[in-house]
A and B are shown apart, each in its own frame.
Chain A
Amino acid sequence: MTKKDKDLINRIAAGAKEGRISRRDFMSYSAAAGLTVAGATSLWGTSARAAPTRGGTFRWGIHDGNTGDTHDPGSYVTRTMIFLAHTHRSYLTMINGDGSLGPDLADSWEANDEASEWTFSLNPNATFGMSGNKVTANDVIASLNHHRGDDTTSAAKALLTDVVEITADGDNTVVVTLLGGNADFPWLMTDYHLAICPANDDGTIDWQSGDGSGPYVIESGEFGVQFSLVRNENWHGEGAWFDKVDIITLNDPNARQTALVTGDVDSVSQIDLKTMALMQRDPNLQLFNVPSAGAITLPMLCDTAPFDNVDVRNALKLSMNRDEIIEKIMFGAATKANDFHHSPAQPYWPEDIPQRDYDPDQAKSLLKKAGMENLEVNISTADSVTAGAVDMAVLYAEHAKAAGITINVTREPNDGYYSDVWLKKPWCLVSWGARPTPDVMYTLAYKSDAAWNESRWQNERFNELLLQAKAELDDSLRAEMYREMAMLARDDGGTVIPFFNNFVYAARSNVGTPDSLAASWEGDGARAASRWWFTE
């Protein structure tokens, strides 16, 4: 690069900093100055600080929606509904772009010393977009109770089993009493099921109308097809730069990506990893590759031979070449995991634990110690678990050959995988969505008596620490406990965790985004509609 080019780039960067240059112009000037697209993108990222501007219709293509979806928060399951919920409804708390916990409907919250009683004070400005009514404590209580009780069908029931009582203290304060201490309770309130809906007089909620207190109000829509929303001018939060938002279900990867390339939509919630590199080259697009807390796990039933032997479990953990799997199956869009289900995208992540790497020799010696040389095991998988799930198992079986282990890959039917294979077959592949904190994840799938203890792992110390950490309000003590639990899961647990998958999604280059994107969901923690804006 000549000096002249360098000067030019500095001038362009300065222009971007002051907001004088749009992203598109910036990209073409930079290309003229001899920068590659990737280089220009990162330069734009570090220099542009243009303030958000209002206006425009944000057309958002979502990769997963179904005609059978409903507005019932207890049965939210598709991404379309989850993203829509974060756009037209609100939650007590929210996960900020930097991964910290911030206020949504509740503007502050505090616990008693045991963390067993939580008091949330509601934002007095919050109103429901359709009816115009204020959001009161009654609405919050009814919305949380929707997921409790014997006859609830909500998928979030397990999350609130520890809740003993929810009471109102005036119109704007909600007090939640828990069975035991739970320092993470405000984090749980970000769960996508726990959207706040208007209460009916009988204590149930009115979810059918689709009313909510979010940044946008539903104007019209059809499940599995499209929803059109307009800004809620009385929204209590900051942002909501777009005038209108269209949430469009685009299940077919090709249709979704073509729509983005041709400008029929402004952003899509998922990019096919196989074509990621091609999309990256298009100067009209920006790709986001965000490490998430979602993971692929391979749970072995610890009460079933041969997985009841810890040496066998560790030998299998050592027989996987995670780097090659990430490179070949995930096309690099994943973060290497270390056999404990605690992602760098979650709070309290212990960064000093040594990474377990591919070591067939050590695996061999562990098997020799266990008297199980020439081990032969079966693993069940299906392509519905994640794209490339079957290929991943086959590749793993090749890695394990070096340790003298034969892994037979059984391809199961996609339909009913989670009712017939998961928790039943001794070893299988599972995909986990992101959970906000390590406590939620461990309680859900690693606690000795959890319904979804997918590896049936029983470890007294781990379970003891889990309960202690849960009620511990001192952050550094908590972090220490999670570190010890991670070590136990890594060295004694029954789950091989190859990687945490990244969220890979994209937008047109005229879409402005904050510096850091929330890792809880694709699309900036499902809140792109209220956090992003058009730059031109």
Chain B
Amino acid sequence: MGGLLNLVLKRLGLGLITLLVVSILIFFAVELLPGDTAEQILGQGATEETVAALREQLGLNRPWYVRYLDWLSGAVVGDFGVSALSGEPVMDVIGGRFVNTLFLAAYAAVLAVPLAITLGVIVALLRNTVFDRVANVLTLTSISSPEFFLGYILILFLAVKNPFFPAIASLSDGMSLGELLNRTFLPALTLVLVVTAHMMRMTRAAIINLLASPYIEMARLKGVSPWRVIVRHALPNAWAPIINVVALNLAYLITGVVLVEVVFVYPGIGQALVDAVAKRNFPVVQAASLIFAATFILLNLAADVGAILTNPRLRHPK
């Protein structure tokens, strides 16, 4: 187990370096965009005088490295600065948004992960039957369509033609959990459709791969039922690739939902990031990007740890 702890610590250290590199890249990417915060805030109504006054106020006159180091020295002690537009602490601006995004991701994951793995096991069992083909075609169709298109289709059939669910997922204070789940059902369902195929097909492939192994043949020869062969004998050895693809999709649920948020007007962090980029609101862009990067790093780490824990050979190296 000591090896595992070592690995986690090493990976976390590397993760921090990755985050530093990401922060530098983001800073330069924002710098490269035409126009700065002052011009974007004042928009078409900008005059040279007011832009100069606003630059002075926002500290945009300083050279880029001073501004970056200034931000970095705050960030390492957990102070991500204040929004360049409103002067509120960045965490106040995006904290609530991030919670919303996590909620939607969790909602979608709770529906999608069991659905995908169960489907994967079933189609592995019934491989090359009509059920297998239909499940594959349906899930592949949904993954091949852009999210916003899936969202529009769901809105058309489940909100406009048959008003089961609200078309926009606007949240308000003091909503009950039931109301919240109802309001966010369509965006969650869109995400479920987007991520299910990947996880299901990986589950199916991993299991079918193992079915050719001698120990599976042994199990069959001693008369174990096909269902039990898969769930009891094949699945435990297939967990590693499945966990990997699940982690990847969970990361996608958090970082890839901008379009879904836009289509359903869901106040998540993706929309906040897009707004912040449009206004060159650097502290907010930086904080949101780092949250995304950290999500990827942590979920990848979790996937590796999960793969080790489910594999006795890796758990007890010689």
Q: Interface residues, chain A, CB within 8 Å of chain B?
A: 66-70, 75, 77, 150-155, 157-158, 220, 222-226, 228, 246, 248-252, 254-255, 258-259, 261-262, 264-265, 413, 415-416, 418-420, 422, 451-452
Nearest Cβ in chain A — how far from B285, in angstroms?
A: 11
**Contact assessment for A68 and B263 in the assembled complex, using a CB-CB cutoff below 8 Å:** no
Nearest Cβ in chain A — how far from B71, in angstroms?
A: 17
Told that A262-B160, A419-B34, A452-B47 touch, could you supply 20 new A-B pairs with CB distance under 8 A? A67-B284, A68-B84, A151-B53, A153-B53, A157-B49, A220-B173, A224-B267, A225-B170, A228-B172, A249-B265, A250-B265, A251-B262, A258-B160, A259-B167, A259-B168, A262-B166, A413-B34, A416-B33, A416-B35, A422-B44
Nearest Cβ in chain A — how far from B102, in angstroms?
A: 17
Neighbouring B residues of A224 by C-beta, 8 Å? 267, 271-272, 275
B83 within 8 A of A: yes
Neighbouring B residues of A154 by C-beta, 8 Å? 50
Which of B33, B57, B93, B278 is within 8 Å of A153, CB to CB?
Answer: B57
Which of B35, B44, B45, B83 is within 8 Å of A415, CB to CB?
Answer: B35
Neighbouring B residues of A228 by C-beta, 8 Å? 172
Nearest Cβ in chain B — how far from A62, in angstroms?
A: 11
Report the Cα distance A158→B48, complex, angstroms: 11
Nearest Cβ in chain A — how far from B148, in angstroms?
A: 8
Neighbouring A residues of B42 by C-beta, 8 Å? 75, 77, 153, 155
Neighbouring B residues of A252 by C-beta, 8 Å? 262-263, 265
17 pairs of residues in contact across A and B, judged by CB atoms under 8 Å: A66-B278, A67-B97, A67-B276, A68-B281, A77-B45, A153-B57, A158-B47, A224-B272, A246-B172, A254-B152, A254-B155, A258-B167, A262-B159, A262-B163, A415-B35, A419-B35, A451-B48
Nearest Cβ in chain A — how far from B87, in angstroms?
A: 8
Which of A223, A258, A415 is within 8 Å of B168, CB to CB?
Answer: A258
**Contact assessment for B34 and A262 in the assembled complex, using a CB-CB cutoff below 8 Å:** no
Neighbouring A residues of B267 by C-beta, 8 Å? 222, 224-226
Report the Cα distance A254→B46, complex, angstroms: 31
Nearest Cβ in chain B — how far from A250, in angstroms?
A: 6
**Contact assessment for B53 and A67 in the assembled complex, using a CB-CB cutoff below 8 Å:** no
Neighbouring B residues of A150 by C-beta, 8 Å? 53
**Contact assessment for B264 and A255 in the assembled complex, using a CB-CB cutoff below 8 Å:** yes
Nearest Cβ in chain B — how far from A220, in angstroms?
A: 6
B85 within 8 A of A: yes
Which of B41, B167, B263 is within 8 Å of A77, CB to CB?
Answer: B41
B147 within 8 A of A: no
Given contacts A68-B275, A252-B265, A264-B166, contact A415 B33 (CB under 8 A): yes
Q: Interface residues, chain B, CB within 8 Å of chain A?
A: 33-35, 39, 41-50, 53-54, 57, 83-86, 93, 96-97, 152, 155, 159-160, 163, 166-168, 170-173, 262-265, 267, 271-272, 275-276, 278-279, 281, 284
Report the Cα distance A416→B170, complex, angstroms: 31
Neighbouring A residues of B83 by C-beta, 8 Å? 68
**Contact assessment for B275 and A67 in the assembled complex, using a CB-CB cutoff below 8 Å:** yes
**Contact assessment for B279 and A66 in the assembled complex, using a CB-CB cutoff below 8 Å:** yes
Nearest Cβ in chain B — how far from A40, in angstroms?
A: 23
Neighbouring A residues of B34 by C-beta, 8 Å? 413, 415-416, 419-420
**Contact assessment for B35 and A70 in the assembled complex, using a CB-CB cutoff below 8 Å:** no
Neighbouring B residues of A226 by C-beta, 8 Å? 170-172, 267
Which of A223, A251, A451 is within 8 Å of B86, CB to CB?
Answer: A223
Which of A70, A152, A155, A261 is within 8 Å of B46, CB to CB?
Answer: A155
Nearest Cβ in chain B — how far from A447, in angstroms?
A: 14
**Contact assessment for B271 and A67 in the assembled complex, using a CB-CB cutoff below 8 Å:** yes
**Contact assessment for B265 and A255 in the assembled complex, using a CB-CB cutoff below 8 Å:** yes
Nearest Cβ in chain B — how far from A411, in angstroms?
A: 15
Neighbouring B residues of A151 by C-beta, 8 Å? 53, 57
Nearest Cβ in chain A — how far from B61, in angstroms?
A: 14
Nearest Cβ in chain A — how far from B134, in angstroms?
A: 30
Report the Cα distance A265→B35, complex, angstroms: 35
Neighbouring B residues of A451 by C-beta, 8 Å? 47-48
Report the Cα distance A294→B34, complex, angstroms: 27
Report the Cα distance A224→B279, complex, angstroms: 13
CB nearest neighbor in B for A248: B170
Report the Cα distance A254→B167, complex, angstroms: 10
Neighbouring A residues of B44 by C-beta, 8 Å? 418, 422
CB nearest neighbor in B for A219: B173
Nearest Cβ in chain B — how far from A78, in angstroms?
A: 9
Neighbouring B residues of A152 by C-beta, 8 Å? 50, 53
Nearest Cβ in chain B — how far from A297, in angstroms?
A: 12
Neighbouring B residues of A246 by C-beta, 8 Å? 172
Given contacts A222-B267, A418-B43, contact A153 B54 (CB under 8 A): yes
CB nearest neighbor in A for B52: A153
Report the Cα distance A420→B166, complex, angstroms: 42
Report the Cα distance A223→B163, complex, angstroms: 29
**Contact assessment for B46 and A418 in the assembled complex, using a CB-CB cutoff below 8 Å:** yes
**Contact assessment for B167 and A68 in the assembled complex, using a CB-CB cutoff below 8 Å:** no
Given contacts A223-B86, A261-B160, A415-B33, contact A153 B50 (CB under 8 A): yes
Report the Cα distance A418→B39, complex, angstroms: 9
**Contact assessment for A157 and B50 in the assembled complex, using a CB-CB cutoff below 8 Å:** yes
**Contact assessment for B43 and A77 in the assembled complex, using a CB-CB cutoff below 8 Å:** yes
CB nearest neighbor in A for B48: A451
Closest 4 CB pairs of A and B: A416-B34, A155-B45, A68-B85, A416-B35
**Contact assessment for A70 and B86 in the assembled complex, using a CB-CB cutoff below 8 Å:** yes
Nearest Cβ in chain B — how far from A170, in angstroms?
A: 33
Report the Cα distance A95→B172, complex, angstroms: 33
Nearest Cβ in chain B — how far from A401, in angstroms?
A: 31
Report the Cα distance A433→B86, complex, angstroms: 25
**Contact assessment for A419 and B46 in the assembled complex, using a CB-CB cutoff below 8 Å:** yes
Report the Cα distance A423→B149, complex, angstroms: 39
Which of A66, A70, A250, A416 is within 8 Å of B275, CB to CB?
Answer: A66
Nearest Cβ in chain A — how far from B258, in angstroms?
A: 11
Nearest Cβ in chain B — how far from A9, in angstroms?
A: 31
Report the Cα distance A250→B169, complex, angstroms: 11
Nearest Cβ in chain A — how far from B14, in angstroms?
A: 32
Given contacts A152-B53, A153-B53, A255-B262, contact A416 B271 (CB under 8 A): no
**Contact assessment for B271 and A264 in the assembled complex, using a CB-CB cutoff below 8 Å:** no
